[in-house]
Structure 1
Amino acid sequence: MRVLLLGGTADARRLAGLLVHEGHHVVSSLAGRTREPLLPAGEVRIGGFGGVEGLIAYLRGERIDVLVDATHPFAATMSEHAAVACAGLGVPRMVVDRPGWTASPGDVWHRVASLGEAAAVIPRLGRRVFLTTGRQGIAAFAELDECWFLARSVEPPDAVAPKRLDVVLDRGPFTVDGERRLMAGHRIDVLVTKDSGGPDAKLVAARELGIPVVMVNRPPAPPLGPLDRVAGVHAVTRAIAEAETRHP
């Protein structure tokens, strides 16, 4: 099968390795926002497609049999383009399921709909803020002069940023012990993150330290069409194997 894998996540890299091992032709598409991304197995393309029309042209030109959307849950534009393009061509679309986080006893979460709402909530919760929303979201907090920020990202921020900002350049996965030391050492009193799902070491550490969390909710997912399917990593590989047996 010829698979276009919209990636950039750990799940996508894992899935690419499994599919390549099974003999499929896999092209992983990365947005190109990180200068030195972790590259998956198989072929890799970096950069956008040029909107829906560009993606349609790519799917048709490369004779893609199935598109797998394993992007970050907040990559809403790319997911929307994929849904529209696949529906227009009748190409099956599989979405890798990445459940969001659920609060546990002891958590103090404040759910908001956007980074702007997160910035509005922060001043009444704390003054020393740990930002784990990615470097492109840092600009939303630039006007909060009364707060000090610790931001973590793979690369330095390249946009407007708060005046009082320290940046930790690091890439996960992270451990609970490491997150606890980082937050305690910087006297963090509020954590800001996106509901991306996956490993939740920082949330466990925040719970143990009694630190409130500002949780940015996910954007709405594109509606599913008749050829679309949502599944975990291994279920996607099984579905593609089943589709291969039916492929003319």
Structure 2
Amino acid sequence: MHRPRHVLILGGTTEARRLAAELAADPALRVTSSLAGRVAAPRLPAGQVRIGGFGGPEGLARWLREQQVDALIDATHPFAGTISFNAARAAADVHVPLLALRRPGWVAEPDDDWHPVGSLTEAADALPALGGRAFLTTGRMGLAAFAHLEDMWFLVRSVDAPEPPMPARTEVLLDRGPFTVEGEADLLRRYGIDVLVTKDSGAAATAAKLVAAREAGIPVVVVRRPPAPEGVPVAADPAEAVRWLRASLT
């Protein structure tokens, strides 16, 4: 009797959970999802779950060998750049097929007032010229980039409470999407927000804030995605990832 083919999903995204649910239903597959452990109470996917880092590309390569992984799917957040490059190196070292599952980025519409930047530091540099009350939806990591903006007020939304350093004039809102356009519009009005800062995660669950900002005429500072590893095939959705996996395991 042949052993189930082992698929490792580097997860933490909605797409990763959808993919794990579909693959775990196949008895011919053994599915393991790896979560970074940055969220205190993550939504666990179907199948086996491991939490925590691997110890760089060498540690990941060792895990792939020891656990007899047949295919690796990087379905991490578009801004989790380090693990993506570690996955590319490890997969190449162990000769395991690798796919990147990346939701498409957001596309600006004619009425959007977007200000693309390359990093959180650049976002902080752009803010003073755009407004005085900023809505930060970049997560709880990286708030130190805005800590020096003492004249600005910030509303920070994240799943878990952020830790210092962060801007002195900050109110924290703990919440998890999906969000509605109506809810986001009410939030902008209630807090007097005049500029929004976000990362181009491309998630439909968090795109409502962009619509609300467009309708309110509020500028949006959009942090562009970091570059992805070269030579790694990319799927735009779980269905495409499943097709790639079936072809890779034949």
Q: Is the 8 A contact 2:143 2:166 kept in 1?
A: yes
Counterpart of 1:136 in 2: which secondary structure?
coil
Q: CA deviation at 1:212?
A: 0.1
| 1:135 counterpart = 2:140 | yes
What residue in structure 1 maps to residue 227 of structure 2?
220
For structure 1, list consecutive stretches of 5 or more residues without a partner in the other structure.
none
Corresponding residue of 1:32: 37
Partner of 1:239: 244
- Structure 1's 134 and 229: CA in aligned 2 closer, same or farther, altered over 3 A? closer
Report the Cα offset of residue 43 of structure 1: 0.6
2:190 pairs with 1:185: yes
Tell me the alpha carbon deviations over residues 186-230 of structure 1, each in whole angstroms, 9 at most, x when there is no partner.
1100000001102111100100000000000111100115xx453
Q: Which runs of 5+ in 2 are unaligned?
A: none
Say which of 143, 147, 155 aligns to 2:152.
Answer: 147
Identity of matched residues, %: 56
Matches of 2:196 and 2:142, distance apart in 1: 14
2: CA distance between counterparts of 1:20 and 1:222?
A: 27
Q: Once the 2 structures are TM-superposed, how far is the Cα of residue 236 of structure 1 from its aligned partner?
A: 1.0
| Contact kept in structure 2, 1:136 and 1:159, CA below 8 Å | no
Q: Deviations over 1:158-207 (max 9, x none)?
A: 13011100011000111111111111111100000001102111100100
**What is aligned with 1:83?**
88
Any idea what SS the aligned residue of 2:69 has? coil
State the one-letter code of the partner of 2:219: P
- The alpha carbon displacement at 1:2 in A equals 0.6
1:30-109 matches, within 5 Å, as 30-109=35-114
What's the CA shift string for 1:85-124, capped at 9, x where partnerless? 1111111001113111111011001011110010011001
2:12 corresponds in structure 1 to 8
In the superposition, the TM-score normalised over structure 1's length comes to 0.95
CA–CA distance in structure 2, aligned partners of residues 219 and 235 of structure 1 = 22
Instruction: State the distance in 1 between where 2:225 and 2:117 align.
Output: 9
Alpha-carbon distance in structure 2 between the residues aligned to 1:65 and 1:167: 43
Q: Aligned Cα RMSD in Å?
A: 1.1
1: CA distance, partners of 2:224 / 2:246? 34
